Structure 1
Amino acid sequence: MKTLYFDCFSGVSGDMVIGALIDAGADPVKLVEELKKLHIEDEYELKWKKVVKNGITSTKFDVVLLNQHQHNHHEHDHDHGHGHTHEHDHDHGHTHTHEHSHDHGHTHTHDNDHDHGHTHTHDHHHDHRSYQDIVRLIEEADFSQQVKETALKIFKKIGEAEGLIHGVPLEQVHFHEVGAVDSIIDIIGTAILIDQLKISVIKSSPIPVGTGKIRIDHGIYPVPAPATLEILKGVPIEHSEVRFELTTPTGAAIVAVLAEEFCSIPSMKVISIGYGAGTKTFKDHPNVVRIIIGE
Structure 2
Amino acid sequence: MSQKSAYFNCLGGVSGDMILGAMVDVGLKPEFFNSIVKSLKLDNVVISASKDYRHGVIGTKIHIELNEQEKQRFKIKDFLYKLEHSDLSDEIIKTSQGILESIGEAESKVHNIDIDSLVLHELGSLDTLIDVTCCVAGVDELNLDFVYSSPLPTGSGTVLTEHGVTPVPAPVTMAILSKHNVPLKPPPVESMDTGEMVTPTGAILLSHLAKFEQPCMTVDKLGYGLGQRNPESYPNVLGLWIGKNEDEPQSLLLLETNIDDSTPEILSYVVDRLISNGALDAWTTPINMKKNRTGVLLSVLSIPGLDMRLRGIINRETTTLGIRAQTVKRFASRRENILVDTELGLIPVKLRYINDEPSDLSPEYDVCRKIAMERQVPLKDVMDIARYHAKKLIN
Which of the numbers 142, 162, 170 marks the counterpart of 1:225? 170
Confirm whether residue 270 of structure 1 aligns to residue 219 of structure 2. Answer: yes
CA RMSD of aligned residues (A): 1.5
Shift of 1:149: 2.1
Say which of 184, 190, 207 aligns to 1:237.
Answer: 184
Equivalent pair of 1:103/1:176 in contact (CA under 8 Å): no
Structure 1 match to 2:66: 65
Task: Specify every segment of 5 or more residues in structure 1 that has no aligned partner in the other structure, as ranges.
Answer: 68-100, 105-126
Partner of residue 9, structure 2: 7
| Partner in structure 2 of residue 40 of structure 1 | 42
Q: Does 1:248 align with 2:250?
A: no
Structure showing greater relative contact order (alpha-carbon pairs closer than 8 Å, 6 or more residues apart): 1
Show CA shifts across 1:37-83 (max 9, x none). 111122x221210111111110000112212xxxxxxxxxxxxxxxx
User: Superposition pairs for residues 101-250 of structure 1, below 5 Å?
Assistant: 102-104=70-72, 127=73, 129-233=74-178, 234-240=181-187, 241=190, 242-250=193-201
Q: Deviations over 1:123-165 (max 9, x none)?
A: xxxx2x1111100101111111221122112211211100111
Displacement over 3 Å in runs of 4+: none
Q: Confirm or deny: 8 A CA contact 1:53 1:287 kept in the other structure.
A: yes
Greater strand content:
2
Partner Cα separation in structure 2 for residue 196 and residue 228 of structure 1: 27
- Whole-angstrom CA distance in 1 between matches of 2:139 and 2:119: 27
Q: Distance in 1 between matches of 2:208 and 2:71?
A: 24
Contact 1:53 1:281 in 2 (8 A): yes
CA distance in 2, matches of 1:286, 1:214: 18
- Name the structure with the higher helix share: 1
Residue identity matched to 2:38: K
Asked if 1 retains the 8 angstrom alpha-carbon contact of 2:122 and 2:162, the reply is no
Matches of 2:166 and 2:122 in 1, distance apart? 17
Q: Which amino acid counterpart does residue 239 of structure 2 have in structure 1?
A: R
SS at match of 1:283: coil
- 1:207 and 1:5 map into 2 onto residues whose CA distance is 13
Partner letter of residue 56 of structure 1? V
Determine if contact 1:103/1:181 at 8 Å carries over to the other structure.
Answer: no
Q: Deviations over 1:228-250 (max 9, x none)?
A: 00011110111113421011111
Counterpart of 2:29, as a letter, is D
Between the aligned partners of 2:26 and 2:90, the Cα distance in structure 1 is 24
C-alpha distance in 2 between matches for 1:277 and 1:209: 18
Residue identity (%) = 35
Give 5+ residue unaligned stretches, structure 2. 245-395
Look up the equivalent residue of 1:163 and give its one-letter code: S
Q: 1:174 Cα deviation (Å)? A: 2.2
Partner Cα separation in structure 1 for residue 217 and residue 121 of structure 2:
41
Structure 1 residue aligned with 2:257: none
Match of 1:120 in 2: none
The SS at the match of 1:275 is strand
* TM-score when normalising by structure 2: 0.58
Q: What is the CA-CA distance between 1:199 and the residue it aligns to?
A: 1.1
Q: Which AA in structure 1 matches 2:19?
A: V
Aligned to 1:51: 52
**Cα distance in structure 1, aligned partners of 2:102 and 2:13:** 18
Shift, 1:103, TM fit? 2.9
